[in-house]
Every structure is written in C-alpha cells, then in structure tokens.
C-alpha cells in the first residue's frame, strides 16, 4: 500500500544502509556462528583480501592516508593483495591527534566534512578513554555504528547469550563506547533485554545488586574491578551471595591475566564462566573468548590484526609478543588501515582449527600498553605486568599504580619504581604482605621494586578508579628529579 505521506527528505538512519546487502555481507550472530566462524582458513583469506583491497581503494580518497602513503612513494595500484599490507606505513594515535590539531575537532583523518556529511548520513561520535591524554574523538557512520553493535553481538552469542535473557550493563551510555555497544548488541541483534543501569554515579552499587536480583539478570557485563565490588556489596550490604543470581556467564575484559588468577577469582565469586574480550574505540570489538577458553578469536572477516616488534616494526613470529596493528575490513568513516594500537599482544594459534571448529586466529589476553613501558635501570617494565602479583594475595583489593621516580645524589642519577598497592579494609593482619608482593613482583618484572601498601580509596584519583575510562597504571615523575 502506498503511503499517503510524502517521502522524508531527512537523512534517516533506516535509509542509510542497504539492509539486504548488509545481511548478506555481515550475517546475524546465529548464522555467523555456523558459517563464517567455521570457514576454512583459505576461504577466510580470500574474503579478507577482497575487503582489504576495497578499503585501500577508498583510503586513497582520504587526505590523511593519501598524504601518508604518498610520502612513502606509494601510488594507487601498488597494493595488489593483502600480502602487500607491509608496504603500507603504519600510523598511531599521535598521528590522529596531529590531524585533529590541524583540522579541529575531528581532523582530516575522518575523511569527510562532518557537518556536510550529516546532511546525507547519520553520524555518531565516541571518544577514547583519555587515560593517556585528552579523549580522542572517532566518528561513526551508519555502517560503522551498526557493525559496532553486531561485532559484540557475535561474541555474546558464541559465549552463550540467547533470546529471552536479561543483560545488565553497569556502564554509562556516554562518549565512551562500552555501554553503547553492549546495549546495541543485546537490543538489536540477540533478543536479549538490556538493563542499562549506568555507572555508580547513576546507579549505586547497592541498587545495581538490587536490580540484578529483582529483574533476574542472566548476564552482567562489566570490568573485573567493578565485578568484585558488586560481589562485596551483595554480601556486605544486601546480605546475599552474588552466586545466587545464577548468571549464565560474564563477558568482561581481563587484561593480562596470563596465569588465570583473575578469571578464577571472578568465577569463584559468581559461580559462572567468565570470558575475556578485547577491543578499542577505533576498531570496536576485535576479539573474544569462546566456551573453550583457548585464546581470543580474532574477528577475521572484520579486522585484520598483525603483531609487530615494538622497536623494529617488523612482523614477529606467532607466539612472540609485540604491538597489535589493526586494519578494519569495512570502515569508511574513517578508514582504519594499519593502525598501530600500541597494545601488546601475541598470536597463540595461527589458524589451526579450534575445539569450536573455527579457523580464526586466536590471540592471548591483552598484555598491556607498549607506550606505558618504562625503562628502569636498563630493564623494560610494563605496569600491567604487576597484575598477577598484586592479585595473588586476597588481602589486596587488586588495585595498584606504578610510580617511577628519579633520585639525584652527588650527580649520580638513579631511577626507582614503587608499586602502590591498595589493601582491603577487612584485610586483617598485613604481616609479610609487602615482602610477599616485592618478591613476586621481582620474579614477574625481573627487577626489584618497592611496594607501598595504601588504604582503600587512596588510588582513586591517581589511578583513575571509579571513573569513566580505563584505570591508569603508571605515574612517571622522573622529570621532577629530587
């Protein structure tokens, strides 16, 4: 039946995507789990090659990439397959910031005049966490925003989310991406009802717990630090064990939990499986664990990940750690082509079929930030390497920050590091705790560091705890020599 109304001239979201094409190219989570997720490696490679060449062709129309590539002597047509990806120069967040300084606020990197593009295409802006500086904006067109949610929905489905469930999201729908993508995934793609309780500023921890029990929450998505807080509040203030919720599973971001201690702690607290995930503001949801817990599956049809040496920029062998370099295989606003994330990771399976029947490559847990690395007396120290040691003793809250300082005495310079570790209010006797942590940190870091025990809440401001964005794990004071 023909509409009695004239066609709208507004740039409606529903008209911004060819939905039949979208379903063919990027199938729904249940279809994806039985098709692309289980394709053989050669078929995946062919798809990656096809999509890679399309994004490179589009990249030449973007002034940021055109200038970057031309400066290295490249011309259109030089890149003939994904095997040539190493010929393209990398860029990092500093280059994006420079672009945004030259053409504020979004930069030539975005590739479009935002206000003009808005007359044709719905756009959304999200920002980085800002833990290493001012939050960095990233623009999403309709396709990019839709994929933002679909990528998360795929991982949640493979981890066990099903229609009829309820997922609680104790994060705020703000300029940060985390709450938005999980809301979008649950509501639009899974038949799961999102309960967007927001962060502690919006909904207190006690109210979060009450809501979970009142609504019968099946899945809680949050960071490990807050999950432990909710379990404590449930016990101390609500009078119930959080395990009584009977959660189906917990999707979270475990960080460098290479010995599994953090996962074991959360699974013991909640009595359900805990799955790790990895993503960034620019590339969205890049990898996820499945029920096999055998590495994080790279979302191979959407993102191509390389691992490169932090100093030489050359590819490393599978199993060796290095910087993760990401290329989005669909993004146009903006394109993401060889973005050096400066996140440390390593490939743990290079296409060998998994227990779930997938040939997707798998990566280890996020291993920390290479730009957070500090050199102390000739040793490369990564603050996230403290995680296992700090959480090895139940008397700590699991929170810490590394403080690098410089002492100058009789013209002799000596760099030192102190790790401030937060202890629980109910920790009881602290006998031997500092010595235990110092010994464990020396073993893990390869360097003797001092440990300072601090009271709960003492790290909130220093470490950016309880706020939007990721915790800060390094405070470098060496430019303030004593």
Whether residue 369 is predicted with pLDDT greater than 90 in this model: the reply is no
142-157 residue pLDDT tens: 999 999 999 999 999 9
Parse the chain into domains and list their residue ranges. Answer: 8-368, 373-476
Quote the percentage of the chain above a pLDDT of 90: 81
8-58 residue pLDDT tens: 999 999 999 999 999 999 999 999 999 999 999 999 999 999 999 999 999
pTM of the predicted structure, to 2 decimals: 0.85
395, 433 contact by CB (below 8 A): yes
Q: Say what the alpha-carbon torsion angle 31, 34, 157, 266 is, to the nearest 10 degrees.
A: -170
**Structure confidence at residue 408 (pLDDT):** 73
Q: Average the pLDDT over each of 149-153, 175-179, 467-471 and give the range with the smallest value.
A: 467-471
d(CA 226, CA 246): 18
Q: Say what the alpha-carbon torsion angle 417, 420, 421, 426 is, to the nearest 10 degrees.
A: 150
**Structure confidence at residue 154 (pLDDT):** 99
Whether residue 325 is predicted with pLDDT greater than 80 in this model: the reply is yes
Q: Cα 415 from chain centroid?
A: 31
**Structure confidence at residue 482 (pLDDT):** 45
Q: Say what the alpha-carbon torsion angle 178, 179, 180, 186 is, to the nearest 10 degrees.
A: 110
- Please give the mean pLDDT across all residues of the chain: 93
Q: What is the mean pLDDT of residues 196-224?
A: 94
Q: What is the mean pLDDT of residues 447-470?
A: 88
Quote the percentage of the chain above a pLDDT of 70: 96
303 band by pLDDT with thresholds 50, 70 and 90: very high
**Structure confidence at residue 407 (pLDDT):** 84
**Structure confidence at residue 272 (pLDDT):** 99
**Structure confidence at residue 135 (pLDDT):** 81
385-426 residue pLDDT tens: 899 899 999 999 999 999 999 887 765 668 899 999 999 999
**Structure confidence at residue 382 (pLDDT):** 83
What are the φ and ψ backbone dihedral angles of 7, each rounded to 5 degrees? -70, 135
Closest-CA residue to 287 (of 301, 273, 266, 274): 301
Q: For 183, left (φ over 0), alpha (ψ -120 to 50), or beta?
A: alpha
Residue that has been written with the tokens 């060796």 in this structure: 320
258 band by pLDDT with thresholds 50, 70 and 90: confident
- Tell me the angle at which helices 63-70 and 41-59 cross, rounded to the nearest 10 degrees: 100
CA distance to 31, 150, 167, 193, per residue, from 190 (Å): 12, 9, 11, 8
Whether residue 481 is predicted with pLDDT greater than 60 in this model: the reply is no
d(CA 97, CA 105): 10
d(CA 338, CA 329): 11
Q: Average the pLDDT over each of 56-65, 172-181, 283-292 and give the range with the smallest value.
A: 172-181
Closest-CA residue to 179 (of 222, 140, 210, 219): 222
Contacts of 316 (CB under 8 A, 6+ apart): 307, 308, 309, 322, 346
d(CA 352, CA 358): 8
Residues in the chain: 482
251, 221 contact by CB (below 8 A): yes
Q: What is the mean pLDDT of residues 152-173?
A: 98
**Structure confidence at residue 130 (pLDDT):** 58
One DSSP character per residue, 421-478 reads EEE-TT----TTHHHHHHHHHHHHHSS--EEEEE-TTTTTTTTTTTSSSPPP-EEE-T
Q: Is the peptide bond before 334 cis (omega within 30 degrees of 0)?
A: yes
Question: What are 291's two structure tokens?
Answer: 């029920």
d(CA 313, CA 43): 28
The class of domain 373-476 in CATH terms is: alpha beta
Q: Average the pLDDT over each of 127-141, 323-337, 360-374 and give the range with the smallest value.
A: 127-141
**Structure confidence at residue 471 (pLDDT):** 85
Q: What is the mean pLDDT of residues 449-478?
A: 88
202 band by pLDDT with thresholds 50, 70 and 90: confident
45, 301 contact by CB (below 8 A): no
d(CA 444, CA 200): 33
**Structure confidence at residue 446 (pLDDT):** 86
**Structure confidence at residue 157 (pLDDT):** 99
Q: What is the mean pLDDT of residues 476-482?
A: 69
- Do 373-476 and 8-368 have the same topology in CATH? no
Closest-CA residue to 321 (of 368, 276, 279): 368
Give the strand order in the sheet containing 250-252. Answer: 250-252, 274-280, 284-289, 296-298, 362-363, 347-349
Return the number of other C-beta atoms located less than 10 Å from residue 44's C-beta: 19
d(CA 160, CA 399): 30
Report the CATH superfamily, name and number, of domain 8-368. ANL, N-terminal domain (3.40.50.12780)
Beta bridge partners of 124: 140
d(CA 58, CA 43): 23
């Amino acid at each position: 039946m023909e509409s009695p109304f004239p066609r709208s001239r507004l740039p409606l979201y529903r008209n911004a995507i060819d939905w039949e094409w979208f379903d063919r190219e990027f199938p729904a989570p249940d279809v994806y789990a039985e098709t692309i997720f289980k394709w053989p490696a050669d078929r995946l490679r062919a798809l990656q090659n096809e999509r890679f060449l399309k994004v490179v062709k589009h990249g030449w129309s973007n002034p940021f990439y055109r200038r970057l590539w031309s400066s290295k002597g490249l011309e259109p047509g030089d890149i003939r397959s994904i095997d040539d990806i190493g010929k393209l120069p990398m860029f990092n967040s500093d280059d994006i910031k420079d672009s945004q300084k030259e053409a504020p606020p979004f930069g030539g990197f975005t590739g479009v005049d935002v206000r003009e593009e808005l007359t044709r295409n719905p756009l959304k802006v999200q920002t980085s966490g800002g833990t290493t500086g001012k939050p960095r904006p990233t623009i999403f067109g309709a396709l990019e925003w839709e994929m933002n949610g679909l990528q998360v929905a795929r991982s949640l489905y493979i981890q066990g989310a099903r229609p009829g469930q309820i997922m609680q999201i104790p994060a705020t729908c703000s300029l940060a991406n985390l709450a938005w993508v999980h809301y979008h995934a649950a509501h639009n793609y899974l038949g799961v009802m999102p309960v967007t309780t927001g962060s502690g500023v919006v909904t207190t921890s006690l109210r979060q717990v009450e809501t979970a029990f009142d609504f019968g929450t099946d899945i809680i998505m949050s960071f490990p630090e807050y999950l432990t807080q909710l379990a404590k509040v449930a016990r101390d203030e609500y009078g119930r064990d959080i395990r009584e919720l009977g959660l189906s599973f917990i999707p979270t971001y475990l960080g460098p939990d290479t010995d599994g201690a953090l996962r074991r702690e959360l699974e013991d607290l909640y009595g359900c499986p805990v799955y790790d995930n990895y993503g960034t503001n620019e590339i969205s949801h890049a990898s996820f664990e499945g029920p096999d817990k055998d590495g994080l599956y790279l979302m191979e049809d959407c993102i191509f990940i390389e691992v490169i040496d932090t100093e030489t920029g050359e590819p490393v062998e599978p199993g060796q750690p290095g910087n993760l370099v990401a290329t989005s295989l669909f993004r146009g606003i903006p394109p993401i082509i060889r973005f050096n994330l400066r996140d440390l990771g390593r490939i743990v399976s290079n296409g060998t079929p998994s227990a779930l029947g997938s040939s997707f490559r798998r990566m280890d847990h996020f291993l920390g930030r290479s730009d957070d690395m500090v050199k102390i007396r000739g040793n490369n120290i990564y603050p996230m390497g403290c995680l296992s040691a700090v959480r090895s003793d139940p008397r700590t809250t699991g929170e810490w920050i590394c403080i690098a300082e410089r002492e100058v005495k009789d013209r002799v310079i000596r760099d030192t590091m102190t790790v401030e570790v937060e202890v629980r209010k109910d920790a009881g006797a602290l006998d031997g705790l500092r010595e235990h942590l110092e010994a464990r940190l020396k073993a893990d870091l390869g360097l003797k560091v001092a440990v300072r025990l601090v009271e709960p809440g003492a790290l909130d401001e220093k470490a950016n705890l309880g706020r939007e964005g990721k915790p800060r794990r390094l405070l470098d004071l060496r430019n303030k020599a004593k």
